Structure 1
């Protein structure tokens, strides 16, 4: 995968079971130091053509591979991830700034959990069923083009690759150019596991070049994309030319509704944790904290007290809870939203514009809490993708639900209530793909995806596997 020149690492494309050199280069920058730590080639149409051709050539044989062998391959890849977990975590911390403790537990743990989950359900999955005189069979969709983001650089890849492999599909991956290094490690793992050449391919490059070449390619049967809404729209537009299937997992502006009988200590602690998770660079982050008007000031005070526990700094330090943003560009974006919130009239309860004290370099922002946020403010409507919480008062339960649903997004959310029954009733009224009630835990087998402009389709578990399958009716 890699050759070293000086202090930098050169990472190549992985096409048809071999490393391929590429023209041009894209710098991979450590956001904590601003130093270039690697370079990847700037792939485009030629590299995508070669990778798709390899995937097409490998498809029939892989689709005909017995299901048990495909499942065994996914589990072997999982074991490879486990064996190299320390290396993977270190790479993720270096390329996008995820704190080392979070990288070792979540960034590595999630892809292991999701791959194990989809492998475990394969045997009981309804690959065939009888409806009257028809035999309904589920078959692999074909060659999958996958475009993944930088915030969870291995998990987002495995969430697509594992079910696609179980389904019998072959894959061409275009990882984020911001955090591409773990894709190379995964390619090495697939080789060591014995995955046949061409079944999994990696083409590096930018979205407008490599990404669009992949989405428009007539040899690609399906596009699975995770990223921003504007980029997702573009993938959908480009893919429409060949009427291929498109699955989109896009942004979010998730609301955490705290009801008047909730355990406030639990609601604020878990709520802030889910807002600041991965430095706020999480599509499901609960960035809007909706509280009864009478409890607003108390909740803000509690949130500020909790926020003081979130140490910002060097992501390689075990005590750090919030590292740098993934890039200087992302730091500027988040800082710009914080400035916008102040100009809109939201009250700063903690944090604010500018760098944290003592961190004059690196892509760091100040974890920020705004109080008294109105639903029409930009900070309440737009995805910031940083450690920024908007506390929003409401008059009654109906208004809370109305505010929660009043964005173009619908990816995730939460409800804290005095009883599970009351929380469940409010959760059912929220127009969003997943809702946690009183801190319900993440389930890697449950469907993951959104309503409205948060995307189309679902990932994870049985629903994620179905995305990579066609349905055929055979009349007997």
Structure 2
């Protein structure tokens, strides 16, 4: 395996590189355990500088014509497009996504999402009239964005781009596990003509930089994607300044396979959702609910599908599952696999330990559990690894009850005859449901019910999150 050494970025504040202090954070290639770069360990002082730069840039950017803001956003998309190879290589190196997935999704989705948002501006109802009131949608102000490591650049653009399109300025804290891709976006934005100070990056940890952003009186809104535990902390820290908080948190999504479904299709797509990106997807369908009479057949189909998932070097074109993003994540996921066995679930494929031939790196054995109790820990808690729980049900009411039984409500799926599946989908307490595996819709909203968070991302709904609504009576 060839390890690529990457340039260590400085903070990006007010359109300039700003060196941090002596403390740095190593960026580790999870496939090899080697340090490939380091970023500055930011402090509250750098956050203060970034907020000052964003505040200074706000009047000019908010006053810029919407068409010009949209044109800059489109040029950012174009700039990312020219850098897809660099983005894919960088993300594969810093968090272990297989290179084919990195090209298609880790690099490809940010390009497409940014372009889709640029295209919204012309027809968006920036103003409207309701009776004698003029309704005006205005920027919130300075937005703090705190993003995760699993789809790092995609998560950044789903916050930063609509915030900027709405006329806000932004201070971003990318994940310290996968921080290097953020600077690529900054370079593309600068080349696109984005004014200095509109987009700022402060590297660092959540307890230091994330906390400083969340509590800062100069930040008007915080948009966070990450664990439910961290989201709760952000809500508390933001409460003193009563700023708006948008949270996209954990999930334990159910794939409900009905008796009239194409079982083979439902199982193949279900395994794919549970295992894509090494299972490190908040909306992954990690619980497969099947009629009890079809449980064993579903397990056989799942095993057959699983055997096609090559685990290994993420730079290899044939690899479908690479390492998890860190050694800490490997240990966490392994602990859940061991807990599943201890609680009596049957291992259909996989299990604890490392895959054969992979004695080093953050690798786990992709695992499918059969006959899982719906109340078991592995069926209730977010694992964030390639672990699928297959749960039998006796009737559809029980299937809906099981699907809705966790504290989460982010995503899910139903497979079956179209109208039948739609009726079940409407009963699920979750923000997004796919019926029979449709194509991804970049303009449809994404976000959760319950402890999966609040607010919505993507498309018009994602843009509205970053706008205040003013009523002017006349």
Q: TM-score range by the shorter chain?
A: over 0.9
Where in structure 2 are the equivalents of 1:312-351 lying within 5 Å?
312-351=311-350
Name the SS for the 2:323 alignment partner: coil
Give the equivalent residue in structure 2 for 1:13.
11
Q: Secondary structure in 2 aligned to 1:374? A: coil
Q: Which moved more, 1:190-199 or 1:308-317?
A: 190-199
> 1-side partners of 2:173 and 2:448: how far apart?
22
SS at match of 1:414: strand
Residue 237 (structure 2) pairs with residue 254 (structure 1)? no
Q: Distance in 2 between matches of 1:355 and 1:376?
A: 27
Deviation, structure 1 residue 105 = 0.4
- Offset, 1:10: 2.0
Give runs of aligned pairs for residues 297-446 of structure 1, distance below 5 A. 297-417=296-416, 419-446=417-444
| Match of residue 3 from structure 1 | none
Q: Are 1:160 and 2:159 an aligned pair?
A: yes
Instruction: Report the alpha carbon displacement of residue 444 of structure 1 after superposing the two structures with TM.
Output: 0.6
Deviation of 1:167 (Å): 0.3
1:177-326 map, 5 Å: 177-326=176-325
What's the CA shift for 1:132? Answer: 1.1
Instruction: Tell me which residue corresponds to 1:54.
Output: 53
Does residue 39 of structure 1 match 2:30?
no
Instruction: Give the distance between the partners of 1:181 and 1:108, measured in 2 at CA.
Output: 13
Contact 1:253–1:411 (CA<8 Å) still a contact in 2?
A: yes
Deviates more, 1:188-197 or 1:283-292: 188-197
DSSP 3-state at the match of 1:225: strand
Residue 184 of structure 1 deviates from its aligned partner by 1.0
Aligned twin of 2:148: 149
The equivalent residue for 2:449 is 451
Deviates more, 1:374-383 or 1:188-197: 188-197
CA contact (8 A) 1:288 1:392 kept: yes
Matches within 5 A, 1:66-85: 66-85=65-84
- 1:373 and 1:380 in contact (8 A); partners too: yes
Q: Distance in 2 between matches of 1:250 and 1:433?
A: 12
Q: CA deviation at 1:9?
A: 3.4
For the residues of structure 2 that align with 1:70 and 1:441, how far apart are their CA atoms?
29
What secondary structure does 1:49 align onto?
helix
Output the TM-score relative to the length of structure 2.
0.98
**TM-score, length basis structure 1:** 0.98
- The 2-side partners of 1:112 and 1:25 are apart by 30
Q: What CA distance in whole angstroms lies between the structure 1 residues aligned with 2:354 and 2:63? A: 55
List structure 1 segments (4+ residues) > 4 angstroms apart after TM superposition: none
Q: For 1:71 and 1:9, how far apart are their aligned partners in 2?
A: 30
- Structure 2 Cα separation of the partners of residues 30 and 241 of structure 1: 38
CA distance in 1, matches of 2:5, 2:287: 42
3-state DSSP of counterpart to 1:75: helix
Residues 415 and 437, structure 1, Cα contact 8 Å, conserved in 2: yes
Any idea what SS the aligned residue of 1:279 has? helix
Q: Give, in whole Å, the separation in 2 of the partners of 1:85 and 1:119.
A: 19
| 1:137 equivalenced with 2:136 (yes/no) | yes
Corresponding residue SS for 1:317:
coil
Q: 1:469 maps to which residue? A: 467
**What is the Cα deviation at residue 194 of structure 1?**
1.5
Per-residue deviation, 1:7: 5.0
Q: Which runs of 5+ in 1 are unaligned?
A: 1-5
> Which structure 2 segments of 5+ residues have no match?
none
> In structure 2, what is the Cα distance between the partners aligned to 1:453 and 1:173?
24
SS in 1 for 2:200: strand
After superposition, the Cα gap between the structure-2 partners of 1:334 and 1:133, relative to the gap in structure 1 and judged at 3 Å, is same
Please say if 1:96 is aligned against 2:76: no
Distance (whole Å) between structure 2 residues aligned to residue 331 and residue 39 of structure 1: 21
Contact 1:251–1:283 (CA<8 Å) still a contact in 2?
yes
User: 1:93-143, CA deviations, whole angstroms, 9 ceiling, x for partnerless residues?
Assistant: 000000000000011111112111111111111111111111010000110
Residues 214-242 of structure 1: per-residue CA shift (max 9 Å, x gap):
00000000000000001111111101110
Measured after TM superposition, the shift of residue 179 of structure 1 is 0.1
Cα offset, 1:357, TM superposition: 0.6
Q: Secondary structure at the match of 2:222?
A: strand
